[in-house]
Structure 1
Amino acid sequence: MSASANKQIVQTFFDALAAGDIEKMKSVMARDFTWTFPGSTAISGTFRGHEEIFERFLPKVAEYVDMSAGLGIHIDQVIAEGDTVVVRYRGEMTGKFGPYNNRYCHVLTVRDGLIRGTEEYADTALVETALFGKKLE
Structure 2
Amino acid sequence: MSTEAAALALGRTFHKALVSADWDGIRALLHDDATWTLPGDNAISGTAEGADAVVERAQLIASYGVHFELLNLLVSRENMALSLHNTARREDAVLDEHLATVCRLRDGRIASVETYLSDVPGMNAFFV
Structure 2 CA distance for partners of 1:21 and 1:39, relative to 1, 3 Å: same
Counting only pairs closer than 5 Å after superposition, residues 19-98 of structure 1 correspond to structure 2 as: 19-55=20-56, 57-58=57-58, 60-61=60-61, 65-66=64-65, 71-95=66-90, 97-98=92-93
Partner Cα distance (1:3, 1:96) in 2: 42
Q: In the alignment, is the contact (CA less than 8 A) between 1:98 and 1:131 conserved in 2?
A: no
Give the TM-score, by structure 1 length.
0.79
Count of equivalent residues: 126
Is 1:128–2:124 an aligned residue pair?
yes
Structure 2 CA distance for partners of 1:59 and 1:14, relative to 1, 3 Å: closer
Unmatched segments (≥5 aa) in structure 2: none
Secondary structure of 1:121's counterpart equals strand
Q: In the alignment, is the contact (CA less than 8 A) between 2:27 and 2:52 conserved in 1?
A: no
Identity across matched positions, percent: 22
Which is worse superposed, 19-28 or 80-89? 80-89
RMSD: 2.1
Partner Cα distance (2:54, 2:24) in 1: 13
Unmatched segments (≥5 aa) in structure 1: 133-137
